[in-house]
Structure 1
Amino acid sequence: MEKISNFLEQSRMKDYILKTKLGESSLSTVWKAEHRTTGEAVALKQIPVAKLTRHLKNCLECEITFLSSVNHPNIIRLLNFFECEGCIILVMEFCAGGNLASYIRRRGRVQECMAKRFMQQLGAGLKVLKQNHVIHRDLKPENILLSCSECNPILKIADFGLSRILLPDESAETVCGSPLYMAPEILQFQRYDEKVDMWSVGAILFELLNGYPPFHGRTSVQLLQNIKESTSLPFSHLVLPELHPECMDLCSRLLSINPDDRLSFEDFYQHNFLRT
């Protein structure tokens, strides 16, 4: 039976022709691939099992379980998954527009109307996470994909490799994420809840409007210090006069250092800036 299983795993992998490497991290490699029979373009995420700690195995299980159960235009689609040669292979939909980080780098910043459109789509995707009690914990422009490179791309939340289930009134304590988009409570090794994702959303909105993240630091300690010492968000003087007060209010309330003062998901989703 084991030989048959190994053969089936190899056969599944041979269904795809690897084209180009889309990205690589310490834990995974993502390839653009083509289905040998249908010609469909897909993204293959290759995760070596040997690199998975118990924590990361739990996150991967959450990722597969969640993505297998949802079909939403603003969440990346998981088409298939299997194990092959010591790796977990996730077959995802291919997004020709690349990621939001590349989009911002090409343009420098986006107009407020486009930032609003992206936030509305991000909110629609996050609503599904909220309904399933999933927190992402690594929301950042690199983990948000765009359906195409044309003028009206559809935003898709991707890379749920650090996600987990967090039920109401529960909290987490694992330090994870990307420092520039990481909520202060994580940087301070405090327990946290779903509002850490709201901080990340605020950082993404700020970067869309300005072309750079809201806070910097050579180390996580310096980054946290810069956050604590800030008296106002460092909006570009070129951008500030053009921003609607509701847009500034949304960004400021998402990037509230105290999680008790930070917008909840419900308040974010219903904010006037996104409803008008």
Structure 2
Amino acid sequence: MPLGEDGNGWKKKTSDIKEHYDFKEVLGTGAFSEVVLAEEKRTQRLVAIKCIPKKALEGKENNIENEIAVLHRIKHPNIVTLEDIFESTSHLYLVMQLVSGGELFDRIVEKGFYTERDASQLIHQILDAVKYLHDMGIVHRDLKPENLLYYSMDEDSKIMISDFGLSKIEGAGSVMSTACGTPGYVAPEVLAQKPYSKAVDCWSIGVISYILLCGYPPFYDENDAKLFEQILKAEYEFDSPYWDDISDSAKDFICHLMEKEPLKRYTCEQALQHPWICGDTALDKNIHESVSAQIKKNFAKSKWKQAFNATAVVRHMRKLQLGTSLEGPSQITPTNSTQRRENEGSMCRIE
């Protein structure tokens, strides 16, 4: 159904959004939207407004309606809030909570002191938020560091999950099988074109945990097909010397999340009960120098912003004889790490 022709009462009609908000500056641009810093005239409160021209949405209406439907239901302290929705004849405007603390990796690099315990506390917040989503029947499907933002510049700021463009609300009996996500963070069952569930988010949290403790991704290859092979086999290792000072508890936690078999993989609830998260096994040793050096080497900002042609991934998946999506074209976005040492890896191994 075209935008504006349904009966969604949560959309407010407007002839001009600038009657309600003063636009300040562009914060970012996407494939078919622009995010603007704006001040609400009535309250002088700053917000972020996602401006989506309807012309750009032709044929994509369902995607944006899905994002709105997901966001509109969510109220959690670690998830960016959709505060209002306006619709004009030409645009859709999503008024979002302003999150001003910057990206996860930037903050880690800027810190002078960073420990396993810091990483554990970050992952605790992410697990809590994703458990909330899962309890609501919502799967994020694209959890990655770029979608994790700090609420403010305060030293003890909370972390926030953003970007629900690939979220999916599980319906009764529905099966998700669209290949979506970002290659370095996507679960094996997604690449294998098997029906999947909330467990894909738990895998991604395992990958993020791995990166937070060493600064580089568990899976990497310049060739996407080889990268997919690594992920399909769940081949990764805790390389020396980068993991020498990391606790066995942290490695055990990661192994339970980056478990190849979805049914054996930890749920968010199980992960929250792991001693590395809820106990005192996360170490206080400063690992900042090693981790920040690897982040700067492996996660160049220019890489994060690259556009990507999804047909390349579809082509690689066909070469791997993974078949085609049951739901539609691949929605995999680019991996965001640069060259790291070539490493065939092995199954998860704690040395």
TM-score tier by shorter-chain length is: 0.7 to 0.9
Matching residue within 260, 264, 267 for 1:264: 267
Aligned to 1:213: 217
Distance in 2, Cα, partners of 1:137 & 1:53: 24
Matching residue within 128, 136, 147 for 1:132: 136
Aligned to 1:79: 83
CA offsets per residue over residues 64-97 of structure 1, 9 Å max, x none?
Answer: 2333233221111111111235332111111111
Structure 1 residue 243: deviation in Å?
Answer: 2.0
**Larger helix proportion, structure 1 or 2?**
1
Does residue 15 in structure 1 map to residue 30 in structure 2? Answer: no
| One-letter amino acid of the counterpart of residue 189, structure 2 | E
CA contact (8 A) 1:166 1:194 kept: no
CA offsets per residue over residues 155-211 of structure 1, 9 Å max, x none?
Answer: 111111111112476431111111121112222332211111111111111121122
CA contact (8 A) 1:79 1:93 kept: yes
| One-letter amino acid of the counterpart of residue 257, structure 1 | K
Distance in 2, Cα, partners of 1:40 & 1:214: 41
Distance in 1, Cα, partners of 2:253 & 2:16: 50
What SS does the aligned partner of 2:262 have? Answer: coil
| One-letter amino acid of the counterpart of residue 258, structure 1 | E
Aligned to 1:255: 258
Does residue 151 in structure 1 map to residue 144 in structure 2? Answer: no
CA contact (8 A) 2:123 2:209 kept: yes
| One-letter amino acid of the counterpart of residue 263, structure 1 | Y
Aligned to 2:48: 43
Does residue 93 in structure 1 map to residue 97 in structure 2? Answer: yes
- Return 5+ residue gaps in structure 1 as ranges: none
Structure 1 residue 236: deviation in Å?
Answer: 5.8
CA offsets per residue over residues 124-157 of structure 1, 9 Å max, x none?
Answer: 1112101210000111111122111222111111
Structure 1 residue 59: deviation in Å?
Answer: 4.2
Distance in 2, Cα, partners of 1:216 & 1:72: 33
Aligned to 1:141: 145
State the identity as a percent: 33
TM score, norm. by length of structure 1 = 0.86
- Note the aligned Cα RMSD (angstroms): 2.7
Say which is worse superposed, 112-121 or 163-172, in terms of deviation: 163-172
What SS does the aligned partner of 2:94 have? Answer: strand
Based on CA coordinates, which of the two structures has the bigger radius of gyration? 2
Alignment of 1:234-253 (within 5 A): 234-235=238-239, 237-238=241-242, 240-253=243-256
Aligned in 2, Cα 1:137/1:8: closer, same or farther, shift over 3 Å? Answer: closer
Structure 1 residue 219: deviation in Å?
Answer: 4.0
Aligned in 2, Cα 1:117/1:261: closer, same or farther, shift over 3 Å? Answer: same
Relative contact order, CA 8 A, sep 6+: which one is greater? Answer: 2
What SS does the aligned partner of 2:39 have? Answer: strand
Alignment of 1:50-199 (within 5 A): 50-52=55-57, 57-84=61-88, 86-106=90-110, 110-167=114-171, 170-199=174-203
Distance in 1, Cα, partners of 2:274 & 2:236: 20
CA contact (8 A) 2:48 2:96 kept: yes
| One-letter amino acid of the counterpart of residue 132, structure 1 | M
| One-letter amino acid of the counterpart of residue 134, structure 1 | I
CA contact (8 A) 1:74 1:155 kept: yes
Aligned in 2, Cα 1:258/1:110: closer, same or farther, shift over 3 Å? Answer: farther
Aligned in 2, Cα 1:203/1:107: closer, same or farther, shift over 3 Å? Answer: farther
Structure 1 residue 33: deviation in Å?
Answer: 1.9
What SS does the aligned partner of 2:244 have? Answer: helix
Distance in 2, Cα, partners of 1:192 & 1:220: 21
Aligned in 2, Cα 1:116/1:168: closer, same or farther, shift over 3 Å? Answer: farther
What SS does the aligned partner of 1:241 have? Answer: coil
